[in-house]
Amino acid sequence: MMEIAPPSFGIELEFFLLGEDEFPALGATQRVIDRWLLQGYDRPPVPELSSFQIELNPGPWPLTPTGLETALGELERLVQRLDQCARKEGVQLSTAALIPRISESHLCSDQYFTSDPKLSASSRHFRNSSATVEFEDGSSLVFPGESVVGCINEIHIHVRHRTDNETLRYYNHLNRKRDALCAQFAAPLMLNGRMLKASCSTTHLFSQANGEMNIAGDLCRIGYLPMEIASLDQYRRLAASFTPIVVDEHTGELMPIERALWFWVRLQGSSGSLRVEYRPMEMGDDWSARVQQLFDDAYRFSLLETQTAR
């Protein structure tokens, strides 16, 4: 008899590393990671797309109220450590959803993007795209390539339910629910001291930068899927319909399919251990309340599935 794994979840928290003037501290990410390792801390942070963006991704924990309590305690301790390491490197940790300040010289700097090979592959792939920040006063600022993605902080939750079929049902549940989980946390965005238009959300900007269509022209690389997913094979066929992202032009190494999709709800893992990643929740000072919201939805779904199975 096949053992059924208990449901679990993990969390990703993204942060900016800023100078005292609130502009990006280019190249600070690796310095802060090195400082973390020098301190001898475990579970080190990882780089994100820009060289001034950093991520914590601990877990998994049991998908239970006790698991949530443990998770929030661990996350708080990790955030405190990260803040300490940032301060020792002369930069400040920011939980803003959108970078507070940026200049064209930052955007054009050869130090803007991280040196991580797979993340660098993404920035090369989308080098001909762009995103335009529109302000309420009618002005605008163009972010070349996918640089705007490195100026957006999010909270991601990864959830694995008891079985692959249950996880797939949760995947479809999130695709139907879309932004409803984030609605109560929606707030106006500011950049360089000016208010953005309400329609110029972080998801809108992200979609401009990475909104590439598949080869057939009927599915976008970022967004919510317009259909139900019944199996991992079906999902992989959809993923394979996009132009591959080349990591190394000399060896022909390609980015793994699951990392090369920017769907707002992403399926990851292999048969027997599938997990769902929900991605559109913006970062904020109240990140713990946002984590609670994401957990609550996954936990309620788990309880409903248990009741239905009886």
Tens digit of each residue's pLDDT (9 = 90 or more) over 91-102: 999 999 999 999
Q: Is residue 2 part of a domain?
A: no
pLDDT at position 259 is 81
Q: pLDDT tens digits for 144-203?
A: 999 999 999 999 999 999 999 999 999 999 999 999 999 999 999 999 999 999 999 999
Residue 122 three-state SS? helix
Are the C-beta atoms of 150 and 112 separated by less than 8 Å?
A: yes
For position 1, what pLDDT does the model report?
36
Asked if 47 and 55 count as a contact pair (C-beta separation under 8 A), the reply is: yes
Low-confidence ranges of the chain (pLDDT < 50): 1-2
Closest CA to 11 of 232, 303, 275: 275
Whether 3 maps to a domain, the answer reads no
Query: What is the pTM (predicted TM-score) of this model?
Result: 0.94
CATH number at 215 reads 3.30.590
Residue 196 CB-half CA count within 13 A = 22
Q: Which domain holds residue 194?
A: 8-309
- CA 293 – CA 300 distance, rounded (Å): 11
Q: How far apart are the first and last CA of the chain?
A: 18
Q: What is the pLDDT of residue 133?
A: 98
**Does residue 257 lie within any of the structural domains?**
yes
**Residue 1 falls inside a structural domain:** no
pLDDT at 307: 76
Tell whether 19 is covered by a domain: yes
For residue 290, tell me if it sits in a domain.
yes
Residue 170 included in any domain: yes
Q: What pLDDT is stored for residue 260 in this prediction?
A: 85
pLDDT at 309: 66
Q: Are strands 265-268 and 92-94 parallel, antiparallel or unpaired?
A: unpaired
Number of domains in the chain: 1
Tokens 């629910």 belong to: 177
User: Alpha carbon of 12 to those of 75, 192, 196, 231, 279: distances in Å?
Assistant: 10, 26, 26, 25, 9
